[in-house]
Amino acid sequence: MSAPTPHNAAKPGDIAKTVLMPGDPLRAKYVAETFLKNPVQFNSVRGMLGFTGEYEGTRVSVMGSGMGMPSIGIYSYELFAFYDVDNIIRIGTAGGIHKGLKLRDVVIASGASTNSSYFKQYGLPGYFAPIASFNLLRQSVQAAEENGVRYVVGNVLSSDYFYTDEATDTMAWAKLGVLAVEMESAALYMNAARLGKNGLGIFTISDLLTTGASTTPEERQTSFTAMMEIALKTACRVDSGNAGK
């Protein structure tokens, strides 16, 4: 297969080497309109909006992934394999399960545990441990520190379940130090590993499963700018050689 794909109308060259990937396509639109200079929309197939523009002189793209590992699995694979994207930085919300987390804390996911069977496609004689690209991780930590953002680095849970009959299943992961639960990063990390590319997840804590505290849907879509700015600065750091191209 080559570009365009059944899920992405972009032509070769329309997408930058680094793509920020929120789950919500409207968050992608918000990032493009708020942070990018001269953003151009390259995709609207199935409502999955994608844009390319410039941030501090560096060409950057942002595109929605949808919810869950099957969805980000398709979109990230196509970006890596058919659009020559090198880096995908997932920016999303997560539910905190670690007692030390507060609403709006930023979590940078060094690893992504999962209850998914996504890895079974590789026919491995065991279990694969999905981890982030170290370079993206290092650059994002430096960006967070420069911006004075409260952040935590650690493991997250990429869950196949949003609603479950066994609510305690998610909290059990906290016993092993897992910080938060989301639904996509493990597939992104596995696609990146399989294709020799780079993936990272950066999250804003939107809910606390420990206390029931939560933010509003509107806040989740538009107000988590600290996470977005960290991701954009990371894109500039790793992709500065493509500025202006």
pLDDT of 241 strictly over 50: no
Return the exposure string of 83-114: e unless at least 16 CB atoms fall within 10 Å of the residue's CB, then b: bebbbbbbbbbbbbbbeebeebbbbbbbbbbb
Q: Token match 């059944």: residue?
A: 6
Confidence of residue 244 (pLDDT cuts 50, 70, 90): very low
Contact criterion met (CB below 8 Å) for 184 and 158: yes
- Per the annotation, the verdict on 207 as an active-site residue is yes
As given in the structure block, the two tokens for residue 98 are 């670690």
Candidates 14, 24, 207, 239; catalytic one: 207
pLDDT of 224 strictly over 50: yes
* Lowest-confidence region among 112-126, 199-213, 216-230: 216-230
Give the domain 18-242 fold. Answer: Rossmann fold (3.40.50)
Residues facing residue 40 across a β-bridge: 52
pTM for this one?
Answer: 0.94
* Whole-number Cα distances in Å, 140 to 128, 136, 170, 216, 226: 24, 6, 27, 26, 12
Task: Mention every residue, 6+ apart, whose C-beta is less than 8 A from residue 219.
Answer: 206
Q: Where are the domains of the chain?
A: 18-242
